[in-house]
Amino acid sequence: MTKDMFWDLIDKSGRDVGKDEMDGLSARLRRDRQMDRLLDRLRMLGPEEIVQFHCCFEECVRDAFRWDLWAVAWIVNGGCSDDGFDYFLGWLILQGQEYYHAALADPETAARRVKRGEFAQCGEMWSIARRAYEARTGKEDFYEQLPKITRTIQGKRWSEQEVGNLFPSLAKKFAL
């Protein structure tokens, strides 16, 4: 599976939900419906492709594992633990290729679709490939199939006291 195929699956899962169906739904319900569509698409793949999908996901996480994006996650979610940042990155990737790359280029744009009071998180992205793999194969050895993809946080670390100064307009919008 190429990165283009990975992003095509993500982007199509969002289009599968459709704008009409998404209007009026909470962010959580929209995300849940998109995840259902993505799971349906992944179940149609072979086991190796499902594993490769997860590898592409982890590579995207690795590339976005940056302090500036963690600061955005902290601001929009009202705080952000290690796991919370993983869930934010899952959400960011689920937004699609264009949105993800825009956020890498300008981290502040990662908050563009988040409304005050909503959480930009999708922990389910971390297990969706495993769920598809198990449904497809009946086996529980998904994690044994994965190569190790290491990640190291990039950028300049910030403190909780200064995070609002990094993105003042976001801090104001989300009342940090």
Token representation of residue 116: 């005050």
Instruction: Return phi, psi of residue 148, to 5°.
Output: -80, 120
Per the CB < 8 A criterion, the answer to whether 113 and 24 are in contact is no
Token representation of residue 133: 């793999």
Which pLDDT value is given to residue 24? 61
Residue 154's DSSP bridge partners are 66
- AA identity, residue 62: R
Which pLDDT value is given to residue 16? 80
Mean pLDDT by 10 residues, the chain (176 residues): 96 79 69 94 97 98 98 97 98 97 97 92 97 97 95 96 95 88
CA atoms of 51 and 80, how far apart (whole Å)? 28
Tokens 């009202």 sit at which residue?
Answer: 78
Three-state DSSP at 87 gives helix
Q: What is the 8-class DSSP label of residue 127? A: T
> What sign for the dihedral angle of Cα 31, 142, 56, 16?
negative
Note the maximum CA span of the chain. Answer: 50
Token representation of residue 139: 């086996």
Which pLDDT value is given to residue 29? 86
- For 109: left if phi > 0, alpha if psi spans -120 to 50, otherwise beta; the answer is alpha
Which pLDDT value is given to residue 23? 56
Which pLDDT value is given to residue 22? 52
Indicate the Cα dihedral angle 169, 84, 59, 128, nearest 10°: -120
Per the CB < 8 A criterion, the answer to whether 55 and 147 are in contact is yes
